[in-house]
Copies of this chain bind each other. A is one copy, B any other.
Amino acid sequence: MPVFLDSTAADFEAAFDALLTAKREDSPDVDDTVAAIIADVRARGDAAVIELTEKFDRLSLTPETLAFSPDEIEAECARVPAAERDALEQAAERIRAYHVRQRPEDARWTDPDGVTLGWRWTPVSAAGLYVPGGLASYPSSVLMNAIPAQVAGVERLVICAPTPEGKSNPLVLLAAKLSGVDTVYRIGGAQAIAALAHGTETIRPVDKITGPGNAFVAAAKRRVFGKVGIDMIAGPSEILVIADRDNDPDWVAVDLLSQAEHDESAQSILITDDAAFGQSVAAAVEKRLQTLERRVIAGASWRDFGAIITVRDLDEAAELSNRIAPEHLELCVADADALAARITHAGAIFLGQWTPEAIGDYVGGPNHVLPTARSARFSSGLSVLDFLKRTTLARMTPGALRAIGPAAETLARSESLEAHGLSVRLRLDKLNEG
């Protein structure tokens, strides 16, 4: 059973705090193993990657077969049924249309002191996307990671996707093709992250690594951060649904289960202003859990981390939501826009009962890589900006230097940085000579 909370109960604050701080993930400490793998790949390059792939994925590769060949990719893509191909193309098109709007503008202006200022955005040169193997090998994640990079103008886009025992997912390769990926390596784990960050004889290093992965991948990303950029260390997924009584309990139940089925550590929370509606949703969830394909996973998640919270009114719902800072937030209420205006921290908001969160996972357009574990308090979902960086620009004229140089010199002296001050003073002296 999930936890039932009532905001009018005397012990509510304590129970809600417990919900907020519950540790949902108990990652194994793989840091030493990962450090050794990274050192090995740095020292021995391809040979290390090939040995580790043999060991962990039971797959024999050579430097020549580390990547899929163009023919192999074509053959794999041809295996994708028409309906799935069409769906993937529609998704890719919609995701691209959304992300194109995120391209930021360059700027340049001259201010009243005569200083020309501005900034310019440029793409990262090369990006590597990690795509997990096995159960969590999601073609939708390929689109969500690769399309923003492509839209940003990244020149070289590569994927690492392990194929345990040589089993590959044709949809992953089709998604890669649809989103402009240049090369797909059939390697995974910490060795793939090490190869992307440091390069090998065959694998050229990249500047930025994104994409989800297991504990080994996460630890490797944390370690190579600084040498390359990374997106975020994603935690288990979560959804918060705020719903009033004018909803079908079964719709809300499957929306909650669509997070729960991802992972036993996922979390699904309902906040409602109607206790009876909350009970109906709980019943609908139990019923669906009898037949759902992934009922073992979804059931564990719902039992261990699910919650139904009854509140006095929607104002209180917004306030609690902001404390949760959910990754996904569904607002199934009459005036979803009014409620959304009160939300200050959330990765993605789904407005109204016709907008199930699953739309956002695939075809809505916005990115499905979103901040988990309350990190929506300070971070955003993946976007085109993650594959761009900004260079600031400044140009002084002699007149501008006269206007603002003396202040720079004064501050440099106050910080005991003489050369800083001199670099301004020498130029001012030259002007005074003239």
Contact = CB atoms under 8 A, between A and B. Distances in A.
Interface of A: 83-84, 86-88, 90-91, 94, 97-98, 101-102, 104, 107, 109, 111, 113, 115-117, 119, 122, 124-125, 135, 138-140, 171, 207-208, 226, 228-229, 233, 248, 250-251, 254-255, 257-258, 260-262, 288, 292-294, 298, 336, 340, 343-352, 354-367, 370-371, 373, 375-381, 383, 385, 389-398, 400-401, 404-408, 410-412, 414-424, 426-427, 430
Nearest to A124: B378
Number of copies of this protein chain within its complex:
2
28 contacts: A87-B408, A88-B411, A91-B408, A97-B111, A115-B364, A117-B364, A125-B344, A125-B345, A135-B416, A139-B411, A258-B420, A294-B417, A294-B419, A336-B395, A343-B391, A348-B391, A348-B392, A351-B395, A354-B400, A356-B396, A358-B408, A358-B419, A358-B421, A359-B404, A364-B404, A376-B391, A377-B389, A379-B389
Contacts of A367: 392
Contacts of A119: 102, 366
A376 B395 CA distance: 20
B390 A427 contact: no
Contact of A260 (B84, B376, B411, B419): B419
A199 to B, nearest CB: 12
Nearest to A417: B261
Given A207-B377, A355-B395, A426-B254, A107 B101 contact: yes
A427 B353 CA distance: 9
A160 B131 CA distance: 40
Contacts of A140: 411, 415
Contacts of A383: 390
A171 B355 CA distance: 53
A32 to B, nearest CB: 13
B366 A254 contact: no
A267 B161 CA distance: 39
Nearest to A109: B101
Please give me the 5 A-B residue pairs with the lowest Cβ-Cβ distance, nearest first. A229-B378, A366-B392, A351-B395, A356-B423, A87-B407
Contacts of A88: 411
B420 A361 contact: yes
A366 B117 contact: yes
A392 B381 contact: yes
A329 to B, nearest CB: 8
Contact of A292 (B117, B359, B419): B419
Contacts of A102: 119
A396 B352 contact: yes
A335 B171 CA distance: 50
Contacts of A260: 419
A376 B119 CA distance: 14
